[in-house]
Amino acid sequence: MRSLSLWALLAVFASAPAAPLHAQQDPFRWMDFHAQKDQDIVAWVKGSLDRKKWTAIREIGVQYDAALVVTTLRPGQQSLPDEDTFVVWSVSLTSHAETPLLTGVNLRWLDWMRLVPDAQPELTALYDDCNACAASTFFTAFHYDLANHGWAARWMRGGHSVPVWSSSAPAGVALTQAYASLTEPNGRQIMATWSRFEYGPLKPPDDYLYQYDLDPFSGLERTQTLTGKAVETMQQRICRATNTVPLLARGQDSPLCEPFLKPSNSERKPVTTPPANNRGQSLPPKARK
């Protein structure tokens, strides 16, 4: 049985508006399921997704003429909430058109990131790919696409976005990881990940560093593999993880980061113990006789 967070909305959903809604002129905002002023949007979204498979509508965010919608699906009436899967949709507020953006479990909304200087920040999120398993965690950012009048998710490939953490590794391989969102001098923000695969004494470890950002000229999404001198610089930035988006940094306490967090040998340390030859050279008056 489908339901929204509030039972009182069921009666409203039964009469979804037949005419297109006016485009929203305000900045992005989440709909308040308790507020009467948002009931037309809620009903419109429910009508747009009425033929799709979902159990509940979890969130609705609106900017301009499109809604960013999260639906959840529970496997059965006896299932627990942590067994839910979610789908994020872009729903038009003028035509009832709907587009699924991504699906997964354990969606966590985070803060906003400014991926392009002087542009609007984008809403970020983490999510996992499965329940009750060795899950992988993914990162993405949602933005309003002016050209298509709808919402889109960044760095999508093969149904998922940026892989930032894995709970499993190939047999016989030790995996160590770290990631962080980073702020550039011009104010734009990027995501960087570092993974090290160790194979034991028979083979040297492999390090993989990736930078995810938007091309400053085209605005297109980029995935860059870092090599050469850029590697150590990025390793240090990930491990120190300053000016990060809250909750978008992990692994800084792993063995990967120990070399970058130890104090430099060149730093002059205060002397806290007396030298071995600390006996004074002068003698008291009576000792001089």
200, 187 in Cβ contact below 8 A?
no
140 phi, psi to nearest 5 deg: -155, 170
pLDDT > 90? residue 26: no
Q: Which two tokens stand for residue 99?
A: 């587009």
What pLDDT band is residue 28 in, cutting at 50, 70 and 90? Answer: very high
The pLDDT of residue 5: 44
- Looking at residues 52-67, what average pLDDT do you find? 96
Indicate the range of 66-75, 102-111, 179-188, 257-266 predicted with least confidence: 257-266
- Looking at residues 107-114, what average pLDDT do you find? 96
Give the residue extent of every domain in the chain: 1-162, 169-262
Continuous segment of H or E residues that includes residue 38: none
Per-residue exposure over 170-187, b if at least 16 CB sit within 10 Å of its own CB, e if not: eeeeeebbbbbbbbeeee
The pLDDT of residue 50: 95
Pairing state between β 122-128 and 66-73: unpaired
Q: Find tokens 């063995």 and name the residue.
A: 255
* Residue 153, number of CB atoms within 10 A of its CB: 18
- Looking at residues 19-48, what average pLDDT do you find? 83
The predicted-structure confidence for 175-228, as pLDDT tens digits, reads as follows 999 999 999 999 999 999 999 999 998 899 999 999 999 998 888 999 999 999
The pLDDT of residue 80: 87
- Looking at residues 276-280, what average pLDDT do you find? 43
Continuous segment of H or E residues that includes residue 48: helix 39-48
CA pair distance 231, 163, nearest whole angstrom: 19
178, 251 in Cβ contact below 8 A?
yes
Strand partners, 12: none
Per the document, the length of the chain is 289
pLDDT > 50? residue 282: no
Continuous segment of H or E residues that includes residue 70: strand 66-73
98, 91 in Cβ contact below 8 A?
yes
What pLDDT band is residue 7 in, cutting at 50, 70 and 90? Answer: very low
pLDDT > 70? residue 138: yes
